[in-house]
Amino acid sequence: MLKIGHRGAKGHVAENTIESFLKAFELGADGIELDVHLSADGEAVVIHDETVDRTIKNAAGFVKDFTVDEFKKLGIPTLVEVFHILPEDKLLNIEIKDPLATKIVVEEIGKILRLGEIQLQNILVSSFAWPILKEVKELNSLIRIGVLTEGDPEAALVFAKEISAFSIHPFFGSLNGDFVGKAKQNGFQIHTWTVNSSEDITFVRNLGVDAIISDFPDRL
């Protein structure tokens, strides 16, 4: 079972920062999950919300209105920067939040793969917006896809079959043994989120999931 740090080690360090990702690895994570939007100058930047208001002190506004240079001053990394700090044996789960970021994310994945710095099996692209996942598959059919869902894992299973996804990423509260068994019989991994308490971690472990995404990778 893989231990995945949610936005790095969100329970310990400011989310979606280089420091948070490095902390997750320090705590024994097998991989990290992060979120991507598009900057004003067309680069994939790592931030969860469509605005900077919640995560950045003394700053406000939409992500799409800030340039990469401005983000650097605010401590928000680009996806490419994260590629360069990813250990070669770790997993990177890229969650695309902004549909406009899809093409550039696929392009940047292609570039880093050609450089040989990251292997295909170490990258996974997920999204709650399933049309984004369709677009990723159309742009590069080799990229592994994770179908995110909050409340309807059965629908996610149907869609995962349609696009030949690698994994299904359900909210842990929607999971049961029957679904996990059915998904595995169909060849899909189950990566569940965001599991933080010891009771919930025990629950999903007993279901036999393939990966747990947590704010506290050290608890897994």
**Residues belonging to the active site:** 6, 48
One DSSP character per residue, 158-195 reads HHHHHTT-SEEEEBGGG--HHHHHHHHHTT-EEEEB--
Other Cβ atoms closer than 10 A to 165: 25
DSSP assigned state of 64: G
Task: Report d(CA 111, CA 105) in Å as an integer.
Answer: 10
Q: Would you say 49 and 36 are in contact if contact means Cβ atoms under 8 Å apart?
A: no
Distance CA 42, CA 45 (A): 9
